[in-house]
Amino acid sequence: MQFKNTLAFAKELDEKDSLRNYRNEFHFPKINGEDAIYFTGNSLGLQPKRAQKFVTAVMEDWANLGVEGHFYAEKPWWDYHERLAAPMAKLLGAKTEEVCVMNTLTVNLHFLLVSFYRPTKKRYKIICEEKAFPSDQYMLDSQVKFHGYDPNAAIVTVAKRAGEHFWRTEDVLAKIDEVGDELALVLIGGVNYYNGQVFDMETITKAGHKVGAFVGWDLAHAAGNIALNLHDWQVDFASWCSYKYINSGPGNASGVYVNEKHLKDDSIPRFEGWWGTKKESRFLMKPTFQSTHTADSWQISNPPILAMAPYLASLELFDEVGMPRLIEKRDLIVSYLEFVLQEIDKEVEEASFEIITPKDRGCQLSVLLHGQGKELFNYLMKNGVITDWREPNVIRLAPAPFYCSYEDMYRFGQILKAGILRQS
């Protein structure tokens, strides 16, 4: 397609967009009385309008039924989490029994590492990416310390090559081979939060298994953003955020994926609680845990129903649309945004920025601003663009396909151009 950096062309793309009506399914923040150009779905997705109905239903059941809502609500609370498993499994490329919505991301990773980081005297090392998201770094550090190891010795990072802004798959594979039979675990962010790069999860998973390690993925920036096939890739475990691309609400529940090959292994260590025991005997208060032989057995406590209500509302939207259609629009709108940025760079002599996101990407473009400071970011925010600043001089732009328009991309380019000229 031959792009044009004009309002008429952007509107033409919007007219042809089969998802354009879904923009009306979301609430937009207002800036200067107008809907914001919202680029931070990679941090917190917009609120689906239908979420209110789902939350209100729970509140009414609580008011009218009290504790009996566990069994007699329209959507009974005692199995509420089960309603989220099938639509979430579709997003992950998983079987329903491999998925359980519960807790929050880092909490889930800690619980999963009880099962999948079992170091021995020889096999105790973990591979992760250089400068992983801080919560992952803290989690891994505390895990290896808990097992009595020095993080400097036990945690092996894969670095980007000098002068490059992305990781090369061959470097990850080389590091796996180098660590070899000392490797206990590979745990990497499937989509890097800083540069938006999508890792080759299938190839890396195979390489980790080849040397005898478990392989897991932090899917915070991947779930609801890219095509995933966790089951077919034989990923051992994963967890994700639901409040980014899945639009479930601030700090909302996460979830776990555990490959079916581990589900019936009763010897696997796991921290257990009463909501993970067999559903049929959960309220019989038996003294001994009985595994469900599904991912539900990794649950500890009863689920937070009020939090899961907007989560379920958003998954209903994903179920209606399907990831293939979202990915088709994602690829086109991100490409158009990239084109607009390149055109502004040509048009404005004072403009100097570099897209550091490689072509292996999802919804995000990270833009390195050469010679531009946070003043430009502040200008964007005051003039209708909600975006994200990362030190020292990177803005992250994530045009989520559910609710961002091509006209948004054009308008952003004009605001960016005006901001650069204003500072010159």
Nearest to 254 by CA among 214, 293, 298: 298
Q: Do 301 and 338 have their domain in common?
A: no
Q: How many angstroms separate the CA atoms of 153 and 124, rounded?
A: 9
For β-strands 155-158 and 125-129, DSSP reports them as parallel
Query: pTM for the full model?
Result: 0.96
Structural domain includes residue 99 = yes
**Domain's final residue, options 276, 297, 321:** 321
Strand order in the sheet with 256-258: 99-100, 256-258, 237-239, 214-218, 183-189, 125-129, 155-158
Tell me what percent of the residues of the chain surpass a pLDDT of 70: 99
112 touches 298 (CB < 8 A): yes
412 and 366 part of one domain: yes
Query: Does one domain contain both 225 and 346?
Result: no
84, 111: one domain: yes
Indicate if the alpha-carbon torsion angle 151, 155, 156, 159 is positive or negative: negative
Averaged confidence pLDDT in the chain:
96
> For residue 289, how many other CB atoms are within 10 A of its CB?
14
Domain membership of residue 348 (yes or no) is yes
pLDDT at 232: 98
Residue 40 lies in a domain: no
Residue with tokens 């061959």: 170
For the chain, what's the residue count? 424
| Dihedral angle of Cα 55, 48, 382, 344, to the nearest 10 degrees | 160
* CATH code for the domain of 411: 3.90.1150.10
pLDDT digits (tens, 9 = 90+) for 353-381: 899 999 999 999 999 987 677 889 999 99
pLDDT of 218 reads 98
Report d(CA 75, CA 83) in Å as an integer.
Answer: 9
Q: Is residue 41 part of a domain?
A: no
**Does 44 fall in a domain?**
no
Which tokens belong to 119? Answer: 């170091």
pLDDT at 424: 65
CA–CA distance, 23 with 9 (Å, rounded to integer) = 19
Q: Check pLDDT > 70 for residue 351.
A: no
156 and 290 belong to one structural domain: yes
Q: At what angle do helices 82-92 and 305-321 cross, to 10 degrees?
A: 40
Residue spans of alpha helices (H) in 354-405: 374-382
Count structural domains, the chain.
2
Kind and range of the H or E run holding 395: strand 394-397
CATH number at residue 295: 3.40.640.10
Residues 31 and 60 in one domain: no
- φ/ψ region of 251 (left if φ > 0, alpha if ψ in -120 to 50, else beta) reads left
The per-residue pLDDT for range 152-191, each reduced to its tens digit, is 999 999 999 999 999 999 999 999 999 999 999 999 999 9
Q: Is residue 291 one of the residues assigned to a domain?
A: yes
Instruction: Enumerate the H helices of 157-288 as residue ranges.
Output: 169-179, 201-210, 230-233, 260-263
Count Cβ atoms below 10 Å from residue 256 Cβ, excluding itself. Answer: 25
Q: Same structural domain for residues 68 and 174?
A: yes
The answer to whether residue 1 is domain-embedded is no
The residue range of the domain holding 352 is 7-35+322-423
Same domain, 234 and 337: no
Q: Are residues 235 and 268 in the same domain?
A: yes
Residue 330 included in any domain:
yes
CB 399 within 8 A of CB 333: yes
- The set of residues, in sequence order, having a beta carbon less than 8 Å from that of 26 and lying 6+ positions away, is 46, 47, 48, 49, 247, 402, 403
Per-residue pLDDT tens for 250-260?
999 999 999 99
pLDDT confidence tier of residue 281, bands split at 50, 70 and 90: confident
CA distance 151 to 188: 16
Indicate the burial class of 266 (C-beta count within 10 angstroms; 0-12, 13-18, 19 or more): exposed
Rounded distance between C-alpha atoms, residue 91 and residue 240, angstroms = 11
Domain boundary among 321, 352, 377: 321
Within a 13 Å sphere around the CA of 189, how many CA atoms are in the beta-carbon half?
25
Retrieve residue 401's tokens: 């396909």
Per-residue model confidence (pLDDT) at position 393? 86
Q: Which residues pair with 369 in a beta bridge?
A: 353
Helix 374-382 to helix 406-423 angle (10° resolution) is 130
Question: Same structural domain for residues 141 and 214?
Answer: yes
Shared domain check, 292 and 159? yes
Last residue of a domain, one of 321, 348, 373: 321
Same domain membership, residue 274 and residue 387: no
Give the whole-angstrom CA distance, residue 168 versus residue 185: 19
Tell which residue, 168, 167, 166, 206, has the closest CA to residue 186: 206
If one counts every other C-beta atom within 10 angstroms of the C-beta of residue 34, the result is 10
| Beta pairing partners, 386 | 38
